[in-house]
Amino acid sequence: MAQVSLRNVVKRYELVQVVHNINLEIADHEFVVLVGPSGCGKSTTLRMLAGLEEISSGEIYIDSRPVSSVPPWNRDIAMVFQNYALYPHMTVAENMGFGLKLRHVPKSEIQARVKHAADILGITNLLDRRPKALSGGQRQRVAMGRALVRDPKVFLFDEPLSNLDAKLRVQMRTEIKKLHQRVNTTTIYVTHDQVEAMTLADRVVVMNGGRIEQIGPPQELYHAPKSLFVAGFVGSPGMNFVPARVEESNGSLYLSIGNRCRLAVPLARTDRYGPFVGRMMTFGIRPEHISEPSGEPQSGMAPLELPVDVVEPMGAETLVHCNLDGTTVIACLEPSTQASPGKPIKLVADMNHMHLIDPETSLVV
């Protein structure tokens, strides 16, 4: 088990720079998830950590030891790949024991450790099979077993659940979390699925365009995103963004959307948003913070009346797509909602959870 730190790590392919100055400190036992859209540099970063890609500049440390010039076979890490990368000519037991065999661990010890790992993952009955005789989920377990057996300093996961069907993915996600709670090895996990990132991570690193957008615990990313990208990326369905002008009247701030819609900004935010009076900004609010009015109007709740475009019942909730001055706004409502397409619906936006984004910097203010 180990700390990992990346300092000013850069990756360049000839003229194209794909990873820009990554700085990341990962504590011992921590579960960190790198998340971002395809091509954001997260897998490249993971491969540089594994030693499978050279770094163009900067330094990577595992347990305070600089490893940039250490080849992957001497870094004492284990990695689970998206396509599992099981050796097709070996049985499950041989796959899991291969790393130990290369290190000349005695046969009896290899057997014991493979058995132990197989017990943890519930694959003891598969040990004599070849990978091609396994289902996707079983292969995934074997790939994890191969990592587990080695008892490495760091686990690396590169989109390990992407090849599984939706149901199995959720199940394996829980198992990975359980596994980490049990063995507690420092883990770095790459995914493009923000739900996976939120559910698994102690800390999430959101990457975009080869840069880190924000690092923080899942709740922090959800409630206090620092940029338009993070605000839009974290949460499902994504945050609604509507262009709005900040206006002041009688010492209170309002967001003016189009000609007819005016939303009151909570008093607590007056100081924060004051400098932006008169400017066009982007108003952000999550679907779950728009609801149907019930009982007495509460402070910070801004009423809205919007025409409904689409109604999507999800079971536990119903997503209602409305039109707010030409922009689609999704509201996450109770399943009992009477919303129907074409008719207007009365809603309230919980402005205590609003976000205001400066379109020039794309940063949340």
Q: Which residues bind other proteins (CB under 8 A)?
A: 50-52, 71-73, 75, 77-79, 81-83, 85-89, 98-99, 102-103, 146, 150
Q: Which is nearer to other proteins, 46 or 308 (CB)?
A: 46
Other C-beta atoms lying within 10 Å of the C-beta of residue 35? 28
Q: Which is nearer to other proteins, 78 or 302 (CB)?
A: 78
The DSSP secondary-structure symbol of 159 reads S
Q: In sequence order, what DSSP letters do the residues of 177-222 get, joined into one string?
A: HHHHHHH--EEEEEES-HHHHHHH-SEEEEEETTEEEEEE-HHHHH
Residue 175 Cβ vs other proteins, minimum distance, rounded to whole Å: 20
Residue 288 Cβ vs other proteins, minimum distance, rounded to whole Å: 39
Residue 99 Cβ vs other proteins, minimum distance, rounded to whole Å: 4
Q: Which is nearer to other proteins, 75 or 169 (CB)?
A: 75
The H or E element containing residue 11 is strand 4-13
The DSSP secondary-structure symbol of 130 reads -
Residue 72 Cβ vs other proteins, minimum distance, rounded to whole Å: 4
Residue 177 Cβ vs other proteins, minimum distance, rounded to whole Å: 22
Query: What's the maximum distance between 2 C-alpha atoms anywhere in the chain?
Result: 81
Residues in CB range of 185: below 8 A, 6 or more apart:
1, 29, 151, 152, 153, 154, 155
d(CA 70, CA 256): 58
Q: Which is nearer to other proteins, 158 or 213 (CB)?
A: 158
Residue 73 Cβ vs other proteins, minimum distance, rounded to whole Å: 5
Q: Which is nearer to other proteins, 42 or 289 (CB)?
A: 42
Q: Could you tell me the two tokens for 67?
A: 């490893």
Q: Which is nearer to other proteins, 87 or 274 (CB)?
A: 87
